[in-house]
Amino acid sequence: MQGPKITFEGGEFINFASNDYLGLAGRPEILAAAKTAIDAFGFGGGASRLLGGGSVLHHNLEQRVAEFKSAEAALIFNSGFAANTGIIPCLASEGDALFSDELNHASIIDGCRLSKAKTVIYRHCDVGHLRELVEREKAKRRIVVTDTVFSMDGDIAPLKELYALCLSLTSGPHGRGSLLLYLDDAHGTGVLGSGRGALAHVSLSPKPWIVQMGTFSKALGSCGAFVAGSKEAVEWITNTARSFIFSTAAPACIAAASLKALELVEQEPELNCKLWHNRHMLADALREMDFDTGGSETPVIPLKMDSVGAALDLSAYLFDKGIYAPAIRPPTVKEPRVRIAVTAAHSDEDIASLIDALSDRMKQSARITSR
């Protein structure tokens, strides 16, 4: 089971690779909700949602998500990957332009490819560069697409600046049509803004020109994804997103699990507090040890290394100490790193074990270099 511990080849390890940020994947309340739904609705989704598939739980979940995101409407997808590859081509087509952060998730990259729109890549989180590219682009419809939290670096997109840029071009005297903002909040949902996501984190409210996507598969410990936005946008997506229309509804038990997870996020704010407590405890210690954690501001913390060898060595060293933290190498990322994901399910002792192991390692390598 997902949790703070993971078993490999008979050995138990503290797991620092899970995106189950709130430790919900194994929560008895969620398992019970899923089991009850299996008894009531059976397992298979039956058919596509538009052809009578799904259940009342799917509808309830959509309503619940809309409330949770303070949006007019929401639609659920079977996965985050299906959401991005389905929605982006609905929003942009031939003759339009998509502006995509260079470190966006693979599913966004594929969504852009499927859209037939021109895709313009801007430098990571560089709003100045983005503005230049946007102003140069003559397309009628222009859409900025970004991860809110970048999954390999743990940094947060410059949301306020992106919002201001889109707002200035949407309400200004520009005759060329507006600028839409598409946010992938996969790692922000349940994590940022007391769980409500990236916009809440920066105290911005939803706008008709913002489309928010998020997943149930990470902090919510379930499966699937959602899009939340204006009624008009969600209706359009419902009737045009191919990964929604031509895919069988997810089992009702998954909707039940996601519903329960949202309820727990609202009822137990202490989960989110524990997550951030753990994050700060670890990040403070890493800073003192002079690790290069890049621009990480979230529970995803990369330990950037000079070489692939160094990343593999550190990961193997931690593994020997009973700690699972995988090395991530090119081409997945440009700079090799050990990627740490801290969760609310880690105990103070789990975090201390990681800090102690890293500290021992630093002392060892300091001894080697000073010899």
Ligand X SMILES: *Cc1c(COP(=O)(O)O)cnc(C)c1O
Binding site residues, ligand X, CB under 6 A: 79-81, 84, 105, 107, 147, 151, 184, 186-187, 215, 217, 225
Do the Cβ atoms of 179 and 170 come closer than 8 Å?
yes
Task: For the CB of residue 358, give the shortest distance to ligand X in the complex, in Å.
Answer: 25
What is d(CA 352, CA 332) in angstroms, rounded to the nearest whole number?
Answer: 29
Task: For the CB of residue 290, give the shortest distance to ligand X in the complex, in Å.
Answer: 28
Residue 134 or 186: which CB sits closer to ligand X? 186
Catalytic: which of 187, 260, 304, 346? 187
Task: For the CB of residue 224, give the shortest distance to ligand X in the complex, in Å.
Answer: 7
Task: For the CB of residue 271, give the shortest distance to ligand X in the complex, in Å.
Answer: 20
Active site residue 187: yes
In three-state form (DSSP H/G/I as H, E/B as E, the rest C), the secondary structure along 313-327 is HHHHHHHHCCEECCE
Read off the amino acid at residue 134: V
Burial class (CB in 10 A: 0-12, 13-18, 19+), 107: buried
Active site residue 334: no
Task: For the CB of residue 322, give the shortest distance to ligand X in the complex, in Å.
Answer: 27
- Kindly give the pairing relationship between strand 179-184 and strand 210-215: parallel
Burial class (CB in 10 A: 0-12, 13-18, 19+), 285: middle
Residue 169 or 191: which CB sits closer to ligand X? 191
Active site residue 218: yes
Catalytic: which of 218, 260, 304, 346? 218
Residue 57 or 225: which CB sits closer to ligand X? 225
Residue 14 or 225: which CB sits closer to ligand X? 225
Say whether 204 sits in a helix, a strand or coil: coil
What is d(CA 346, CA 344) in angstroms, rounded to the nearest whole number?
Answer: 6
Residue 227 or 357: which CB sits closer to ligand X? 227
Phi, psi of 119 (to 5 degrees): -110, 125
What is d(CA 24, CA 301) in angstroms, rounded to the nearest whole number?
Answer: 20
Catalytically annotated residues: 151, 187, 218
